[in-house]
């Protein structure tokens, strides 16, 4: 993981970057992490340098690994919220998708923001879910509209800098 630059960010934004870095480095099997706003925009990523890079042949475009994870997390979040409404089952707390070669976890943070984690096939799903819940508990109360704007602008600046 390439640590994003936190120079010039507020203490709340630096704290969220630290929490995300800690999540990725401390939990075995986590491959990538994305925090997505309620409108589907990437706010934080374990791989910000790849947010604007393409996955095929190194071409630039919206299909970087972070952008892909953010899109998937946003889509799954919308799908499960719709399903919960149709089933009159209350708010969605988390979603886990187990695949042959990996796993995907999506957890609500606050105000519609989501934490998405792509895990390796061998990751312990309960450990990943536990650490995600810790992240959400620490991040949820500070993820204000102002902080979301700051994180979005920071990620855009980071992506613009890596695109050059």
- Cα–Cα dist 67/1, whole Å: 16
pLDDT of residue 9: 87
Which segments in the chain show pLDDT lower than 50?
A: 1-3, 50-63
Q: pTM score, two decimals?
A: 0.83
User: Which CATH number, 3.40.50.620, 1.10.8.60, 3.30.590.10, 3.30.450.30, labels domain 14-159?
Assistant: 3.30.450.30
User: Residue 98 belongs to what H/E stretch?
Assistant: strand 94-99
Contact 31, 120 (CB under 8 A): yes
């Amino acid at each position: 993981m390439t640590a994003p630059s936190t120079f010039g960010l507020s203490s709340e934004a630096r704290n969220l970057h630290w929490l995300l870095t800690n999540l990725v480095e401390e939990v075995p099997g986590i491959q990538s992490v994305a925090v997505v706003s309620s409108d589907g925009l990437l706010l934080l990523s374990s791989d910000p340098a790849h947010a604007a890079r393409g996955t095929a042949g190194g071409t630039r475009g919206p299909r970087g690994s972070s952008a892909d994870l953010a899109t998937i997390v946003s889509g799954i979040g919308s799908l499960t919220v719709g399903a919960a409404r149709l089933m009159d089952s209350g708010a969605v707390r988390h979603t886990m998708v187990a695949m042959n070669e990996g796993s995907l976890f999506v957890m609500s943070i606050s105000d519609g923001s989501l934490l998405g984690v792509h895990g390796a096939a061998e990751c312990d799903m309960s450990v990943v879910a536990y650490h995600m819940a810790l992240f959400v508990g620490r991040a949820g109360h500070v993820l204000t509209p102002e902080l979301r704007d700051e994180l979005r602008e920071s990620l855009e600046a980071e992506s613009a800098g890596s695109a050059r």
